Amino acid sequence: MKKKIIVIGSGFGGLGAASRLLSDGHDVTILEKRDKLGGRAYVYEMDGFKFDGGPTVITAPFMFDDIFEAAGKKREDYVEFVPCDPFYRIFDAEGNHFNYNNDHEFTLEEIRKRNPGDVEGYEKFIKTTKAIFDKGFVELADKPFLKFTDMLKVAPDLIKLQSYKTVYKYVEQFIDDEFLKRCFSFHPLLVGGNPFDTTSIYAMIQ
């Protein structure tokens, strides 16, 4: 049955929800308090310059494809994703830097430049983050935890993945060099978290 639906906010979540609702045949109105769409992806303009408010990283581009497909469209006909290389460059206090991208061998070489002894630890670390991603994102990301018992059901898995540790403490098990520890644990900052008190589940953002 067709309904009149109001979506508050035009960030990715609001736009995605509105698109799916429209695809299902509903009458949708989006309310946005700012002067243009975007939410966290708002673009600030000043004196001829543009500044991205975010997003700082897209970890699941396939989700955008899903939204377009639900509307009978192809995302690539409207938006082109252009990967940055490197994804980011991190500097220490002395001006030395660490480059990171999705090329495993490239990352290992960057680690060797800084501290060869951490290569083996990184190999172990990255294997464990895949398990965290599979559980924390693939399996649980879209599951509602409406009751305390819902959380209890997954508690054993979360404990096994050491989710009781912070991201920094989790990385510390595998990496010795302090700068590299920070390079592989800063990712909670991308979602407004603090590596020193955010659960290690967020180590999946690598």
| Mean pLDDT score of the chain | 88
Residue 141 scores a pLDDT above 90: no
Contacts of residue 148, defined as CB under 8 A and 6 or more positions apart, other chains included, come to: none
CA–CA gap between residue 9 and residue 181 (Å, rounded): 36
Q: What is the pTM of this model?
A: 0.74
In this predicted model, what pLDDT tens digit does every residue of 72-113 receive, in sequence order? 999 999 999 988 899 889 999 999 999 999 899 999 999 999
Residue 151 scores a pLDDT above 70: no
pLDDT at 90: 95
pLDDT at 136: 67
Beta-carbon count within 10 A of 203 CB: 29
String of DSSP letters for the chain: ---EEEEE--SHHHHHHHHHHHHTT-EEEEE-SSSSS-GGG-EEEETTEEEE---S--S-THHHHHHHHHTT--GGGT------SSSEEEE-TTS-EEEE-S-HHHHHHHHHHH-GGGHHHHHHHHHHHHHHHIIIIIITTT----SHHHHHHHHHHHHHTTTTSBHHHHHHTT--SHHHHHHTT-GGGGGT--TTTSBGGGGG--
Residue 144 scores a pLDDT above 80: no
Task: Give me the CATH topology for the region 4-77.
Answer: Rossmann fold (3.40.50)
pLDDT at 74: 96
Positive or negative, the Cα torsion across 13, 19, 24, 25? positive
In this predicted model, what pLDDT tens digit does every residue of 168-204 receive, in sequence order? 999 999 999 999 999 999 988 877 789 999 888 777 6
Domains of the chain, by residue range, sit at 4-77, 88-204
Backbone angles phi, psi at 186, to 5 degrees: -80, -10
Contacts of residue 51, defined as CB under 8 A and 6 or more positions apart, other chains included, come to: 43, 44, 45
Q: Counting beta carbons within 10 angstroms of the beta carbon of residue 19, is it exposed (0 to 12), middle (13 to 18) or buried (19 or more)?
A: middle
pLDDT at 188: 87
Residue 119 scores a pLDDT above 90: yes
The band of 118, judged by pLDDT with boundaries at 50, 70 and 90, is very high
Which has the minimum average pLDDT: 62-71, 111-120, 134-143, 192-201? Answer: 134-143
